Amino acid sequence: MMALLFALPAMAASPSAPQNTNVSQLLTQSTTIASHRIQLTQGETITLTSVAGGYWVVGDRASNGTASGTVTLQVSGVLKGGYIISVTGGSFNINSTTYAISSGSADLGPRGVWMVGNGQAGAGQFLFLDRNLGKFGSSNYGVLRVDLKDGTSEFGARLLVSIAVTTATS
């Protein structure tokens, strides 16, 4: 048994050891996917609608429950390095309270994977981070993380969201 343990590193370092083509194929595919740029145009609307979610009270994770929400965004700028996004509406339902979203802004990277932003919801303010998970079946999904503070109350929420993009109409 000991001889086998010492032989494994020597076999792995052997120049005649076969290469794992699956790993190199995976790296090639990952590079191709990572270099893909999404194509959004100014004026398009992006809607994030919760499918499932939960919240917790910041500082007291034992105080938690279900959460939901919808965030409506509009592409207000198209740059080589990504997109400038305006938060135009929606709401969060956290701890049995509905917080209407009135305004905000965000940045979306050129590959459409990460969006980071902030805004006003009711009398409170919120930060958010959205990660696009990709297409499953006929829909795109993401995870929306929210930090919402209203007066002395602060909540964290994580929502599984469907992502829909609507073309601007003239």
pLDDT tens sequence across 43-62: 999 999 999 999 999 999 99
| pLDDT tens digits along 135-151 | 999 999 999 999 999 99
Residue 104: other Cβ atoms inside 10 A: 22
| CATH number for position 75 | 2.40.128
Q: Is residue 142 part of a domain?
A: yes
Q: Is residue 24 part of a domain?
A: no
How high is the pLDDT of residue 20?
A: 44
Confidence of residue 13 (pLDDT cuts 50, 70, 90): very low
Range of the domain at 116: 45-166
Q: Report the range of poorest mean pLDDT among 9-18, 103-112, 158-167.
A: 9-18
Q: Is residue 13 part of a domain?
A: no
Q: Is residue 76 part of a domain?
A: yes
How high is the pLDDT of residue 22?
A: 46
Number of structural domains (the chain) is 1
Residue 121: other Cβ atoms inside 10 A: 26
The answer on pLDDT for 34 being more than 50 is no
Q: Is residue 38 part of a domain?
A: no
81 torsion bin: left (phi>0), alpha (psi -120 to 50), beta (else):
alpha
Confidence of residue 39 (pLDDT cuts 50, 70, 90): very high
Confidence of residue 36 (pLDDT cuts 50, 70, 90): confident
How high is the pLDDT of residue 94?
A: 96
Q: Which two tokens stand for residue 144?
A: 């929306």
Q: Is residue 57 part of a domain?
A: yes
Q: Is residue 138 part of a domain?
A: yes
Cα 82 to Cα 58: distance, rounded to the nearest angstrom? 31
Which of 130, 152, 149 has its CA nearest to residue 141?
130
Q: Is residue 124 part of a domain?
A: yes
